[in-house]
Chain A
Amino acid sequence: MTINVSRRGFLKASAAGTTALLVGINAKGVLAAGSTAAAATDLNPFVKIDADGTVTVIIKHFEMGQGTTTGLTTLVAEELDADWDAVRTDFAPADVDRYKNLFFGAQGTGGSTSIANSFMQYREAGAAARDLLVRAAADSWGVDTATITVESGVIKSGSKSGHFGEFVAAASTMEAIEKPAVKTPDQFKLIGSDKLHRKDNTGKTNGTAMFAMDVNLPGMIYAAIMRSPKFGGTVVSFDDSAAKDVGGFIAAQVLPNKAGVVAFGKNTWAAFQARDALSVEWDFSAAETRSTDAMVADHLALLDAPQFDANHEVPLASVAPILADAAKTINAQFTFPFLAHAPLEPENCTIEPVGDGVRVHDGCQFPTLTRPMVAATLGLDPAKVEIRTLYAGGSFGRRANAASDYNVEAAMAFAVSGRKVPVKLVWSREDDIKGGYYRPMSAHRAKIGLDADGKIVGWDHRLATKSIAKGGPFDGMVQNGIDPTSVEGVAESLYTLPNMGIGLSDFTTAVPINWWRSVGHTHTGFVMESLMDMVATETGQDPIEMRLAMLDPAGANQARMIEAIKLVREISGWEKGDKRGFAAHFSFSTCVAVVADVTVEDTSVHVNKLFMAVECGVAVNPDVIRAQMEGGAGYALSAIFRNEVTLTDGEVDQYNFPDYELLRNPEMPEIEVAIVSSNNAPTGVGEPGVPPTGPAVANAIFAKTGKRIMDLPMTKAGFDFV
């Protein structure tokens, strides 16, 4: 058998000369036990227990702050009855067979799926490990397993007791149960507990947590890349004579794909300085050269002639006669800008030569993409590419990139450097803001028909945006020409909306785009919940009562949404005629309802308070869920208030945080989050807080001013935010 580099290194690093118990998925794909003492185990574990009793949970997802290390650890520790404070974590190596996201079939993190896809898998691993230890203890003591209890890492039977480590050697020779019984919710001690602290909160407060940019290797050189100022441009020639005056400059070379020129330096600063000193001549013949105004106009023109019917049950053409007969129609048009993710740790990646392969040091969100892309760039067998996943200083989707753009750049830089020494590629903030892979621009146009009683009778909804999934490794998501991430949130709305036709057009541009925290819902949630508010205003209905009446409680998700809406109504003390804003949105299988309280003085807006209620199934870590709602809301505020990436003749106008301003401490509203008590399977929390926050604020501004905001960011409507 082939033992890949990553597994061998991983187990060696963790063995420390003594036997440890491993529980994970074996080559047959079933739960199994093994030992680090075995010469050639085919196991990559979810949990490892050392002879000293230390429990290590192997985290198959990456950690960008969303709390997954804490979440997956909770699942194992719960079933294992481990001592929470004694459990540590390690990130998994690249191994799609053992560590795939069960919803994707690929090893990767995204779509707010980490807890949802791992919920049973990690619990069963913990339960199997517990069962092995209990049986080993029963054998050792000559007692029946039924007499044994386990609590906080201590196994007891009558007067006998011992910690996990004492039974590791014996347990690791036993057969694991493939489908162990797991606890019922009433037996949970850790799942749902508010008392667990995050597993990463010590390292991230004392400077010891290792992020990819913190990697420092002997002989390492640093790289920065001069990219085309217009997306899609290529290098014709370059002059590095000025770079030669930069202390610490090593060399400059054209990247093999001609997308840029890489400057190498003895440290990050030298690489940046040398890169900035390069003079490059570009070929813009295939580049995007439009300005934002022209691109907006092109989106709007696409709305006139939709390319696809995204609701094949109700073709757009069938809606027109219904609207023609409607007693009243509501017409609205919305536009949204490109947005940068701007993770606070700028993109970076280190490629290290190891034997006849390489090690990739990265806050790696999608090993199943990065590994083959780096391998192909370097002409290596993917098995020769090891991925070392480190903490990621934010992502918000940026690092889940179909092109693995910055990993491939690092590999190209490593290739042209001669492949002898480790190469660390670092992006500056300017590289990040100007570097593309944005949330795509989009435009929506809706015409809603109402009958004489104010009931919706028909809905013509059109949108134009660039497809994220088409033409890349995610192309399989596209069905009948429709990229679901373009229309999600408008299509398959939870509301009962008769005769709703949806027209979609794909916008094309060389500007690279990517998923941005909550993806299509970033714009569809804003549009749908603004439109619902417009219908409520037009028909004189309470916005909450109207929505509740449009949710059929017979639908499972509708019933969950009703619970979330009622909970936010309760905690906010919402009353008829309320001058606050309301919005609710279903995304990533989670329901979030928001009430926003704002003050508007002249044109200055301050968001005073947000009330949020979330239905996300079993709340594994309630405090992490609250943190994700707080963060998701804040992330949305920054975007809707003032963030936009604009272009002039194809070149990005913004350069850094002074003109791409993140939300600041004094701007953050007070926030109250309530979680619907639920025994449903857990659903996502990283993204669903984003979509309803913007429209709740917009609806609140409307309630206070009568001004409906339809072109984002809100600064375009003349508002400023304080």
Chain B
Amino acid sequence: MQYQLKINGETRTVDAEPGTPLLWILRDELQLTGTKFGCGVAYCGACTVHVDGYPTRSCQTFVEDAVDSEITTIEGATDKVAQAVLEAWREKDVVQCGWCQSGQIMSAIGLLTENPKPTDEDIKDYMNGNACRCVTYVRINEAIKLASQKLEA
């Protein structure tokens, strides 16, 4: 089947079997490999992208369900909130292995877009779905606070 997808502001046409997760379309067909595979069961958040602005697990989003939506991946995360988050992530040296971080960042952008001044509890609740095996949570939470301050300034 052919599908037209709107990804990072561009229309992309892909050939895929119905039921193929968006994750594998992004990674294998479109070479947008910033979106990562971690568990395949929507339990770790490494595959998080934005679908119509909301953080969504691409490993559980079928290609046919994504056709009429605006999809944003880490490669297309360039708005004001995204810039603040990326800067904060680098200033706090959050990353270790890095595999989960695209997903963490896409969730953090979602959080700050909805709630520009989250409390510590807001951050922990919102980020609960993104697992980090290197356990960079302390810095993730600090970076979100820093990004929030940057957005306020």
CB nearest neighbor in B for A391: B98
Whether A65 contacts B86 in the complex (CB less than 8 A), given A208-B34, A664-B131, A665-B141, comes out as: no
Q: How far is the CA of A426 from the CA of B40 in the complex (A)?
A: 13
Determine whether A119 belongs to the interface, using a CB cutoff of 8 Å to chain B: no
- Residues 75-99 (chain B) with a chain A CB within 8 angstroms: 75, 77, 86, 89-91, 93-99
Q: How far is the CA of A656 from the CA of B39 in the complex (A)?
A: 7
Interface string of A262-281 (1 = CB under 8 A from B): 00000111101000000000
CA distance A294 to B27 in the complex (A): 43
Residue picked from B24, B74, B95, B97, most chain A C-beta under 10 Å: B97
Does any Cβ of A come within 8 Å of B41's Cβ?
yes
CB-nearest residue of chain B relative to A246? B17
Whether A429 lies near B73 (C-beta < 8 A) is no
- Asked if residues A631 and B134 are in contact (CB atoms below 8 Å), the reply is yes
B137 touches A634 (CB 8 A): yes
* B51 close to A (CB within 8 Å): no
Instruction: State the CA gap A396–B134 with chains docked (Å).
Output: 9
CA distance A631 to B100 in the complex (A): 14
Beta-carbon nearest neighbor of B34 in chain A: A207
Which of A303-311, A339-347, A585-593 contacts the other chain? A339-347
A666–B131 touching, CB < 8 Å = no
Q: State whether B139 touches A627 (Cβ < 8 A).
A: yes
Given contact pairs A268-B27, A665-B141, A658 touches B134 in the complex (Cβ within 8 A):
no
| Chain B residues within an 8 Å CB radius of A630 | 135-136, 138-139
- Residues 61-90 of chain A, each 1 if its beta carbon lies under 8 Å from chain B, else 0: 000111100000000000000000000000
CB atoms of B135 and A211 under 8 A apart: no
Contacts of B99 in A (CB 8 A): 211, 343-345, 393-394
Residues of A within 8 A of B95 (CB): 65, 198, 200-201, 204-205
Report the count of interface residues on A (CB-CB < 8 A). Answer: 64
Confirm or deny: B152 has a beta carbon within 8 angstroms of a beta carbon on chain A: no
Query: Which residue from B75, B102, B135 sits with its C-beta under 8 Å from A633?
Result: B135
- Determine whether the beta carbon of A428 is less than 8 Å from that of B135: no
Residue B66 at the chain A interface, CB threshold 8 Å: no
Which A residues touch B77, using CB under 8 A? 206
With A635-B135, A664-B131 in contact, do A627 and B40 touch (Cβ < 8 Å)? no
Q: Is the CB of A207 within 8 A of B33?
A: yes
For A198, list chain B residues within 8 Å (CB): 93, 95
Contact at B39–A207, with CB atoms within 8 Å? no
Please determine whether A664 and B128 come into contact, CB atoms closer than 8 angstroms.
Answer: yes
Q: Which of A600-649 contact B (CB under 8 A)?
A: 623, 627, 630-631, 633-635, 637-638
Which residue of A205, A394, A630, A658 has the most chain B CB atoms within 10 A of its CB atom? A205
Tell me, yes or no, whether A421 is within 8 Å of chain B by CB: no
User: Does B125 touch A at the CB level, under 8 Å?
Assistant: yes
Given contacts A206-B86, A345-B99, A668-B135, contact A658 B28 (CB under 8 A): no
List A contacts of B124 (CB < 8 A): 665-666
The docked-state distance in angstroms from the alpha carbon of A664 to that of B140 is 12
**Contact: B39 with A665, CB < 8 Å?**
no
Q: Which of B39, B100, B134 contacts A429 (CB 8 A)?
A: B39
Write out, one digit per residue, whether chain B residues 4-33 have a CB within 8 A of any chain A CB (1) or not (0): 000000000000010011001001110111
- B41–A656 contact, CB under 8 A? yes
Q: How far is the CA of A200 from the CA of B140 in the complex (A)?
A: 16
- Which one, A343, A634, A658, contacts B97 given CB within 8 A? A343
A247 touches B17 (CB 8 A): yes
What residue of chain B has the Cβ atom nearest to residue A667's Cβ? B137
Task: State whether B135 touches A343 (Cβ < 8 A).
Answer: no
Among B95-143, those with CB < 8 Å from A are: 95-102, 105, 123-125, 127-128, 130-141
Measured between C-beta atoms, what is the minimum distance from B40 to chain A in Å?
6
Q: Does A403 contact B (CB under 8 A)?
A: no
* Residue A671 is within 8 A (CB to CB) of chain B in the complex: yes
In the complex, chain A residues whose CB is within 8 Å of the CB of B53: none
Contact B90 A201 (CB under 8 A): yes
Neighbour of A657 across the interface among B44, B75, B137, CB < 8 A? B44
Give every chain A residue within 8 A of B141 (Cβ-Cβ).
665
In the complex, what distance in Å separates the CA atom of A462 from the CA atom of B65? 59
B56 on interface, CB distance cutoff 8 Å:
no
Residue B36 lies at the interface, judged by CB distance under 8 Å to chain A: yes
Chain A contacts for B89, CB-based, 8 A: 201, 205
- B46 is an interface residue with CB less than 8 A from chain A: yes
**When A344-B38, A429-B39, A665-B128 are in contact, do A204 and B135 touch as well, CB less than 8 Å?**
no
Q: How far is the CA of A346 from the CA of B131 in the complex (A)?
A: 14
Q: A247-B17, A269-B20, A429-B38 are in contact. Are A65 and B135 (CB under 8 A)?
A: no
Selected contact of B44 from candidates A201, A344, A627, A666, CB within 8 Å: A344
B128's partner among A206, A269, A627, A666 (CB-CB below 8 A) is A666
Q: With contacts A216-B28, A429-B38, A665-B124 known, is A65 near B90, CB below 8 A?
A: no
Instruction: Bits for A198-230, please: 1 = Cβ < 8 Å to B, else 0.
Output: 101111111111110110100000100000000
The reply to whether B135 and A206 contact each other, CB–CB distance below 8 Å, is no
**A248 on interface, CB distance cutoff 8 Å:** yes
Report Cα–Cα, A640/B134, bound state, in Å.
Answer: 16
A205 near B105 (CB under 8 angstroms)?
A: yes
Q: Within the complex, what minimum Cβ distance (angstroms) separates A618 from chain B?
A: 20
Q: Is there an interface contact between B93 and A65, defined as CB atoms closer than 8 Å?
A: no
Asked whether, in the complex, the Cβ of A665 is within 8 Å of the Cβ of B130, the reply is yes
Q: Give per-residue flags for A404-437: 1 if the beta carbon is below 8 A from chain B beta carbons, else 0.
A: 0000000000000000000000101110000000
Q: Using an 8 Å CB-CB cutoff, how does the interface string of A362-402 with B read, 1 for contact, 0 for none?
A: 00000000000000000000000000000111111000000
Interface flag for A548 (CB, 8 Å): no
Q: How far is the CA of A627 from the CA of B136 in the complex (A)?
A: 8
A102 within 8 A of partner (CB): no
Scan B29-63; emit 1 where CB is below 8 A from any A CB, else 0.
10111111111110110100000000000000000
Find out whether the CB atom of A656 lies under 8 angstroms from the CB atom of B90: no
B115 to chain A, nearest CB (A): 16
A207 touches B75 (CB 8 A): yes
Contacts A344-B97, A662-B44 given; indicate if A207 touches B35 (C-beta within 8 A). yes
Question: Which residue of chain A has the shortest Cβ distance to B123 in the bound complex?
Answer: A665
* Min CB gap B131→A, angstroms: 5
Residues in A neighbouring B39, C-beta threshold 8 A: 429, 656-657
Is there an interface contact between A345 and B97, defined as CB atoms closer than 8 Å? yes
A663 within 8 A of B: yes
Chain A neighbourhood of B136, CB < 8 A:
627, 630-631
- Report yes or no: A206 in contact with B34, Cβ–Cβ below 8 A: yes
Given the complex of chains A and B, what is the CA–CA distance between A208 and B101 in angstroms? 12
Nearest-CB residue, chain B, relative to A222: B28
Q: Known contacts A205-B86, A205-B89, A205-B90: does B137 contact A346 (CB below 8 Å)?
A: no
A residues within 8 A CB of B46? 344
Q: Is the CB of B28 within 8 A of A346?
A: no
The yes or no answer to A189 lying at the interface (CB within 8 A) is no
The 7 tightest CB contacts between A and B, nearest first, are: A207-B34, A634-B135, A393-B99, A65-B97, A65-B96, A204-B98, A247-B17
11 additional A-B pairs beyond A206-B77, A344-B46, A668-B137, beta carbons within 8 Å, are A205-B94, A206-B34, A206-B86, A269-B28, A346-B37, A393-B97, A429-B40, A627-B139, A635-B134, A656-B43, A671-B138
Q: Pull 6 A–B residue pairs with CB atoms less than 8 Å apart, ordered by A.
A: A205-B95, A207-B34, A208-B34, A631-B135, A664-B128, A668-B137
Hey, which bits of chain B sit against chain A, CB under 8 A?
17, 20-21, 24, 27-29, 31-41, 43-44, 46, 73-75, 77, 86, 89-91, 93-102, 105, 123-125, 127-128, 130-141
